[in-house]
Every structure is written in structure tokens, then in C-alpha cells.
Amino acid sequence: MDIDLAGRTAVVTGGSKGIGLAVVRNLAGSGARVIAGANNPSPEIEALARDGQVTFVETDLADPDGPARLVAAAGDRVHILVNNVGSARARPGGFLSITDDDWAASLTLNLMAAVRATRAALPGMLAAGAGVVVMTCSVNARLPDPAVLDYSAAKAGLAGFAKALSKEVGPRGIRVNTVSPGPVATDLWLGSDGVAATVSHATGAKASDVQSQAAAQSVTGRFSQPAEVADLILYLVSDQAANITGSDFTIDGGLIPTW
């Protein structure tokens, strides 16, 4: 499918690696001007920035003003907002091991960063009578897992926020959707501090075995790739999806059975 986003400006939170980086690549490759934000640059996002179509903004998206600073760097008009930033910490110690600080950190990055970025971008979209917001949610919004309890709760909040917002702003020309991946081959799962490594340290199991067991829960027997999630997001921000709003799209290899 040929998607042309020439003349449009997109903002991507958490755009330096993983799903966010793949989204940045897709948007830029389709002609959009992309403003990507994250705590730290990666070599990959720096290479994209050198080409001129991508601007990287180093900003702490957990800071209350961080998302607004990122959106401000895009100028007066944002056509596309992809709220992608997020983080999951495995909680092998269970609910009672999760402190107030843990809860605050999870809710801030997985929910409030999206709320704040949307708050900053939405006035321009409303003034123009058009815009698209996509939230990277998670299957854990509907499949709560005690191993990532606070993350599951935060993503459920994100799903509710997106659905309610879609009802408010849909009549004014703004579409809001969520994409809910299962396990994806990114640092969130596979990094040195990722879910597999954390569970490995707590249980003594090999990280590779933790990963294999998680993959085996999907019908396809594998993790999704960041590019596969990014392709779905690219479609949702395009004109081909012009009548899709208030919807959630699962990409999990059949992890959640639906019938």
C-alpha cells in the first residue's frame, strides 16, 4: 500500500529505539516531517536526523513539561501524534513489592506522558479540524498480568483515556486509536534490564528460556517485530484509515484468543 504523508508533521514519543524508532522510519519514509523525542539519542535516530527529515529532541518524557517541550519543537501544527513511550518492569516479588515510587513511575511514563503530549498537540488539531493520535498500548490492558501489575494497570488507563478522547474529539475531525502489541522483540523484553533478564535473575531460569516460554504462549510461537507494529501504526495514521477511530488493534501472534 502506497502511503503518502508529504506535507505533514508527526511527533513520536519514545522515538529513539524499538517500536518508536520503527515508527519514525516509516513516517519519514512516507514523506512526513518527524519530530522524535526520548531521554537519550541512539545511533540509529542520529543517523536518521542527519538526513534532515527527522529531528531528534532530547527530553525527559517523564518530566511533567517534557512532552510539551517535544510537541513545541514541531511548531504550530502537528498532524500526527504517536504516543509510544513506555516502560515495563517485571515484578517477580508480586504486588506487595511494588512501592509508591514504582507506581508513580509506571503511571507517569505509560499514561501521563501520553496525556501531556496529547494535551499539547490537541489545540492545533482542533483548530485545523483534523489530526490523528495513535497510542501504543498493550495486550496487558485486557490481559492483566501480576508479573507486570503496575504496567498492566497503567496501560488499561491508557486504553480508557484513548477511547473516551475519541468520542470527544471525533466529531471535530480528530481520530484516536490504540495499537496493543503482545511481546515485541525490543529492549523492554530482551534488554539487559528487560522483563526476561529480570525474571531470570529472580528465578534462576535462563533469560533465553524465559523468552522462549513467553513466545510459546502465542499461536505463532514468536515475538512480534518492531517493524510489524510500526506498519500497523503507519496505516492507522494514513488517509486509508480515515473512518477508523476509537478502535484498538491487537498484534500479538494470537496470544489473546478471540472468536
Contact 209, 138 (CB under 8 A): no
Q: What is the grid cell recorded at 73?
A: 519543537
Sheet of 248-251, strand order: 54-58, 33-38, 9-13, 80-83, 131-136, 174-181, 248-251
Q: How far apart are CA 249 and CA 235, in angstroms?
A: 11
Cβ-based neighbours of 191, under 8 Å, separated by 6 or more: 197
Catalytic residues: 151
User: DSSP string spanning 54-107?
Assistant: EEEEE--TTSTTHHHHHHHTT-S--SEEEE--------TT-GGG--HHHHHHHH
CA proximity to 134, closest of 174, 187, 74, 172? 174
CA 113-114-119 angle, to 5 degrees, is: 100
Q: How far apart are CA 8 and CA 132, in angstroms?
A: 11
Cβ-based neighbours of 47, under 8 Å, separated by 6 or more: none
CA 255-2-37 angle, to 5 degrees, is: 65
